[in-house]
Amino acid sequence: MNNELPSAELKQAIRSLDQCYADKPHLRQRLIEISDMINALVAQGCTAHEAEARAIEQIRQVGQGILTEWAQKAEAAAVAKARADDLELRSYRKRRLTWHSTYGEVSVLEQRLRQGRRGAQVRPFCEQAQIGARGYSLPLQRALTDFGADHSFVEATKKVREHYGIQLPASSVRERTLAHAKASGAVEHEAPKKSVQTLVTEMDGTMLPIVQTQTGPGRDGRKGKELSWREARLCLARPLEAVDGVYGATFGTVQIAGLLWHQVAEGAGLGAQTRVHGLGDGATWIVNTFQEQFGAGKDSRATYTLDFHHVSDYLAAAAQVIAPERNKDWLHEQQELLLQNKASQVLGTLEPHREPASQEEAPIRSAHGYMSQRQQYMDYAGARAAGLPIGSGEVEGGHRHVLQKRLKIAGAWWLERNAQWMLQLRTLRANGDWNKYWTKVAKN
């Protein structure tokens, strides 16, 4: 929206205030009060902080006055135009119309019309202003969603009161946030015009709290709730030289997660000639999904690398048994061998110390099994020589700042449907598409 005043209106600014505000008594009175306030602040010798606090409150009141004056004039104009366009419209009733804005509640006496004596009701002002009774202005919806995307809905109401001076129930923040979270799924991240040469991509899962309610005839939805944990799958892709990546998240099946992973990679610049460097903890579903979506084999431009730090964690546990007095030195020795692509030598070191199959706690056997089953994905020397990362810390960090920061706060349990919508909203913000979404909403 263009906030600049048209040149014609600028020329009219040379009129006196009495002329400009003759038909706007509320705004005229507010401007007089602002002038008096400035004189009083000077006389009181107030600080800059006190002056700003008073100015903020006056601006809020001016904003509410502007909206009220606009609503009164726009309502009359909308009714007059509707009657001029349809001569059969007649007055039906007048009702007070009130809605919420970032400046507080705004109300206007709305004239409703009717087609003939018994025809359909027509509300010219509501249709023109795109607002309904007890509705929320788009700027306020954006603010509510902004706070609700990062904080609990109760905490978000406190943020709204602090920054906008208005009191709203937590249910209002919840409804608006979830509505826009649901709609945000329709926004696609715009891919770069040219495909990138090398793409780094990762996938991982994290457990989030989900609640299921027992619904049906005669059942109280507040009772019989079942709490559980569901795995949300988060994927990330970025050009090798980039710092920020593109995210996607879903509670869907492995197949759905795979399609999303490829879509995210396309949004980050995947092309036919792009070299794809995949990273992960070696979970079978991640490796298989990567190969299905990006290819595998000698002729493929995609390679998968096992997260170096996951391997190190297994070896660190084994070190406590094999070399308890020098476990750190032993671990560093094995890590150095791994970086030289000497995984077989590390496996050979573990082999004679493996615990018997009957022993439940077996860190050495676990490390040996983990590495031996994934040895083909441990080309750390090749990755480092090509300037490629060997750790999947980015997607694991993404779990914390993209998903868990909001969906895993203390006391939060989600219906799976609502949680999926919040995944969409959180990844939208992480991908830098927040303004794009609201621009789209404003146009529609």
Q: Are strands 89-101 and 104-115 parallel, antiparallel or unpaired?
A: antiparallel
112 and 229 inside one domain: no
Distance CA 145, CA 142 (A): 5
Distance CA 93, CA 325 (A): 88
Domain boundary pick from 152, 184, 216: 184
In a domain, 54, yes or no: yes
In a domain, 227, yes or no: yes
In a domain, 287, yes or no: yes
Only one residue has tokens 């794009």, namely: 436
Residue 22: band (very low, low, confident or very high) from pLDDT cuts 50, 70, 90: confident
**Average pLDDT over the chain, rounded to whole?**
93
In a domain, 161, yes or no: yes
In a domain, 163, yes or no: yes
94 and 107 inside one domain: yes
178 and 227 inside one domain: no
**Pick from 239, 303, 291: nearest CA to 267:** 239
Q: What is the mean pLDDT of residues 58-64?
A: 93
Domain boundary pick from 120, 135, 150: 135
Distance CA 267, CA 245 (A): 9
Segment 412-430, tens digit of pLDDT? 999 999 999 999 999 999 9
Lookup: tokens for 228 = 């559980």
Burial 5-17 (b: 16+ CB within 10 A, else e): eeeeeeeeeeeee
Residue 33 has pLDDT above 60, yes or no: yes
In a domain, 94, yes or no: yes
Segment 165-220, tens digit of pLDDT? 999 999 999 999 999 999 999 999 999 999 999 999 999 999 999 998 876 666 66
Q: What is the mean pLDDT of residues 54-66?
A: 92
Distance CA 416, CA 231 (A): 11
Angle, vertex CA 162, rays to CA 437 and CA 2, nearest 5: 40
In a domain, 436, yes or no: no
Segment 275-286, tens digit of pLDDT? 999 999 999 999
The H or E element that residue 211 is part of is: strand 198-212
118 and 258 inside one domain: no
State residue 317's pLDDT score.
97
97 and 223 inside one domain: no
329 and 384 inside one domain: yes
Helices marked H in 47-129: 48-85, 124-129
In a domain, 382, yes or no: yes
Task: Provide CB contacts within 8 A for 208, sequence distance 6+.
Answer: 229, 230, 231, 232, 403, 404, 407, 408, 414, 419
Who has greater pLDDT, 148 or 30? 148
119 and 202 inside one domain: no
State residue 218's pLDDT score.
64
The H or E element that residue 89 is part of is: strand 89-101
177 and 200 inside one domain: no
Say how many domains are in the chain: 3
Count other Cβ atoms within 10 Å, centred on residue 203.
Answer: 28
Distance CA 294, CA 263 (A): 11
Phi, psi of 101 (to 5 degrees): -135, 175
State residue 312's pLDDT score.
97
Q: Are strands 121-122 and 89-101 parallel, antiparallel or unpaired?
A: unpaired
Segment 293-318, tens digit of pLDDT? 999 877 889 999 999 999 999 999 99
**Pick from 139, 133, 129: nearest CA to 166:** 139
97 and 174 inside one domain: no
* Residues forming beta bridges with residue 107, ordered by sequence position: 98
382 and 237 inside one domain: yes
**Pick from 168, 162, 165: nearest CA to 58:** 165
Burial 260-274 (b: 16+ CB within 10 A, else e): bbbbbbbbbbbeeeb
Q: What is the mean pLDDT of residues 146-170?
A: 97
Segment 87-107, tens digit of pLDDT? 999 999 999 999 999 999 999
Distance CA 187, CA 267 (A): 12
The domain in which residue 32 lies consists of 16-135
328 and 411 inside one domain: yes
Question: For the chain, how far is it from start to end, CA to CA, in angstroms?
Answer: 13
242 and 178 inside one domain: no
